[in-house]
Amino acid sequence: MNYPNWLSQRAYLSGNRMALSYEEQEWTFSEIDHIAQVYAGKLAALGVSKKSRVAILSKTHPESVFIMYACLHIGCEMVMLNERLSAVELKYQLEDSAARFILADDELIGKIEDSNAISFGSIRTEEPAEFVMQEEWEKGQTVSIMYTSGTTGNPKGVRQTAENHFSSAVSSALNIGVSPEDIWLCTMPLFHISGFSILMRSLIYGMGVRLYAKFDAQKCAEELAEGSVTHMSVVGVTLERILSVLDKEEMTVSSKFKTMLAGGGPIPVAYIQRAEAYGISVLQTYGMTETSSQTTTLQPADAERKIGSSGKPLFLYIVKIDGAENPGEPGEIHIRGPQVAPGYIGRYSEFPVQKDGWLHTGDIGYLDEEGFLYVVDRRSDLIVSGGENIYPAEIEKVLLGHPAVREAGVCGMPSDEWGEVPAAFVVLSNGVEADELLAFCRGQLASYKLPKSIKAVDSLPRNASNKLLRRELKAWN
């Protein structure tokens, strides 16, 4: 069985419904379908065709949506590049993905070293050519490729299929419901699964998206108060900032607003309770790039009595705790279902996403006596900073590239603003100032990955096998 082209089908079924709004502009599904077809013709004139691997580097704005939807019409594979990455990090992902085409926002094309990169401005002026519209999509065809960091320090390109995105959207709808008046406030970057999944839900549900270039707590609070949106995705930091605006300005949240889905790590119970005082239902979720968004989510009916839980698996999925025989016993979280990505690309193409039919997440959690999941630790070494996942090994790898650094260890330290931020400890072969090491890192790491402190030490804690014990570094902060 194949899927119909989601954008064409949505334009046919509910073409006059609002699909996208941005600042003062608004487009219906029929209008977006037409615009995407025009952009698809422009991309075809540049040589893009079915199954072409196309890397997209863009800020969040309507044109980036139009180009993504154009890629859906053509049936090519989109490599979603993080605009916050350094030129060095982008180069790695472009080489690893072997993207045939690189499409870059006019403001960002300077980050791309490849002279063949095509600016959005060039696409805009291209004369459209004839192209073959993909009327149907195979369930297993790759729609998007997103890079996720790994314990090796080298990000892995995750291949997400039409079936992955469809099952994720349908399972979420079965959990929270779908109504014709729903409008999702999207402040998440579209290169993340959290943002891209909102676009996929929009096409599958016929749901409007209120798009923001970046998160703005003041404007988000106003949207909630005005009742212009019904849903929103948040992380702990963004939720707290919205609540602070509501507190400061003594605002009231409209009864039209329904639900916030919260991800990017556990949300403090105090935040959830503050939100409830405004009538905001915050539903903790658990998922990752390899599961194409949520795998478990609290149902609204359980939100109050199961505060701190990430809920039960969505309808099509199964979650188990490896080795646990009784409720409450912690262990590694294993996941199975049609939302789990089939594989990686590039240098990790032979690395299995699933083992024995299960995704081994590396995350530690437990199921209570009713089957609700509680995530104890998002991978023992993972740093979750403002909803961004940061692996210490990636930072350590860069630090070890400096000639004065013999050993490096990185862990998370508490931050009131971001939840956690990276802290580095280094063993030096000769004297070097922390500022010099930070400048060295700045050229190779995104700003949110930069260590907020770098301390020189005589040695790092290791076990008998000389494996670095990062958990002991936390006590050094």
pLDDT above 70 (res 151): no
**What are the structure tokens assigned to 184, written together?**
């999702």
Q: Work out the percent of the chain whose per-residue pLDDT is above 90.
A: 75
Segment 250-260 mean pLDDT: 97
pLDDT above 70 as % of the chain = 97
Q: Give dist(CA 154, CA 148) in Å, integer.
A: 9
b/e burial code for range 118-144 (CB count within 10 A of at least 16 → b): bbbeebeebeeeebeebeebeeebbbb
Query: What value does the mean pLDDT take over residues 337-350?
Result: 96
The tokens for 455 are 């301390």
Average pLDDT over residues 407-416: 90
- Which residue did the predictor score with more confidence, 113 or 79? 79
Tell me the angle at which helices 434-442 and 392-399 cross, rounded to the nearest 10 degrees.
110
Interatomic CA distance for residues 463 and 207, integer angstroms? 53
Which domains are delineated in the chain? 2-138 (3.40.50.980), 174-377 (3.40.50.12780), 383-476 (3.30.300.30)
Length of the chain: 477
Pick the closest to residue 9 from 138, 154, 137, 110 (CA basis).
137
Model confidence pLDDT, tens digit, residues 119-132 = 999 999 999 999 99
| Mean pLDDT for all residues in the chain | 92
Question: In this predicted structure, what is the pLDDT of residue 95?
Answer: 96
Give pLDDT tens digits for 430-467.
888 999 999 999 989 999 999 999 999 999 887 644 56
With vertex at residue 439, the alpha carbon angle to CA 104 and CA 435, rounded to the nearest 5 degrees, is 155
